[in-house]
Amino acid sequence: MSSGTIEIINGRERRRRWELAEKLRIVAESQEAGASVRAVAARNDVYPSLLHNWRCHLREVRLS
């Protein structure tokens, strides 16, 4: 039997607390001409669905 090492890769850390300034900066970056939500999310280590929610909330003036 082999006694190797197993590395577990979890991906993004869960339950990160985002500052309002960070949210607004990332949303603004995603709204630039030619920007891709998926690419902006990946660059900032955010799930695309979360970024989409932030964009919707900002449109509805709920992000505070």
Which whole number is the average pLDDT over 2-26?
78
Average of per-residue pLDDT across 9-27: 82
How large a percentage of the chain has pLDDT more than 90? 61
Check residue 62 and give its pLDDT: 67
Are the C-beta atoms of 14 and 8 separated by less than 8 Å?
Answer: no
Does pLDDT of 16 surpass 90?
A: no
Mean of pLDDT values over 29-42? 95
User: Taking all residues of the chain, what is their mean pLDDT, rounded to a whole number?
Assistant: 85
Sign of CA dihedral 37, 42, 44, 48: positive
Predicted local confidence at residue 4, as pLDDT:
75
